[in-house]
Every structure is written in structure tokens, then in C-alpha cells.
Structure 1
């Protein structure tokens, strides 16, 4: 009874298309965040804090690599699962 009710509830749920929201965020939000980070790095470089700037840039690059890796796994999750759990 409960499983049937849950199945009917899920099938009646509206679809949510988030493609436009993601595209808008990539085009508008990410460049602004990178601009703020860049201005902060330049401002601290003027104070002679180069080691902290190098650490900040390294952390930003590592964060970008992690995000790119997560996006790669998200995009190819089905193919990766099929490859790992393939039947011989």
C-alpha cells in the first residue's frame, strides 16, 4: 500500500529543468567570484605577502581540479559503473 502510494506520488511530481539555472550561474556567478578572488590576491601581493598568495593560488587550482573531477564523474557515472561492474 505504502509503496504504491509512493510510486504514484513520484510519478505525479513535476519535472524540474535546471539547465538554464546552471548555465546562468556558469556565465554570471563564477566569473564574478573569480574576479573577487583575483582582486584579493592582487591586493595582498601589494602588501608583500607572496607566500600567502602562492598558497591561495595553489588552493584555488586544487579546488578547480576537484570540481572538474566531480563534473567528470557526474557526466560519465553510468559509463564508469558499466566499466567497473561489467559482466565477463
Structure 2
């Protein structure tokens, strides 16, 4: 009796998301920042400067966190090889 070995090959779909990310960076992020800026200017006309300062501080902290995450994402293999080097 001979054994027959069958292999099942599953092809994962090849999805390139670089174009989607680039489009989002070029189009969505400036629109979101525009809306935030208009909101800050509108509240500044009402004399709410302390809330504006807090909003701008929160936006800056959020940008720093996003930049840090992007930095770690971009250099994750280098960081992992540095930390777990033998």
C-alpha cells in the first residue's frame, strides 16, 4: 500500500496598501487638521484661550505619539535585532 501525500497550498491575497496610506496622508490628514484649526479659531473668538491652549497641547502630544509609533514601525526589525542580539 503506498502512501500518497497531498499538499494544500493556500494563496493569500496580495494586498498592497501603500497607495491607500499615501492617499490618506495626502488627503485625509490635512482635512482633519483644517477642521481642528477652524474649531480652535472659532473658540478663540469666544475668548476661550485656556481651552485653546489645552487643545493645541493635546494635538501636539498626539502628533508626537503618532510619530513615535511610526518610528518604531519603521525600525522595528533593527530595534528587535539590537535588543535580542546574541
TM-score by length of 1: 0.87
* Structure 2 partner of 1:49: 48
Aligned residues: 80
Query: Which of the two has greater helix per residue?
Result: 1
The SS at the match of 1:82 is helix
TM-score normalized with structure 2 length? 0.89
Which position in structure 2 is the counterpart of 1:37?
Answer: 36
Determine the C-alpha separation between the residues in 1 that align with 2:36 and 2:24.
17
Distance in 1, Cα, partners of 2:13 & 2:51: 48
Q: 4+ runs of 1 displaced by more than 6 Å?
A: none
Q: Which ranges of structure 1 fall in alignment gaps of 5 or more residues?
A: none
Instruction: Provide the aligned C-alpha RMSD in A.
Output: 1.1
Structure 2: segments with no counterpart, 5+ residues: 1-6
- Which structure: larger Rg? 2
Output the CA distance in 2 between the equivalents of 1:84 and 1:42.
Answer: 45
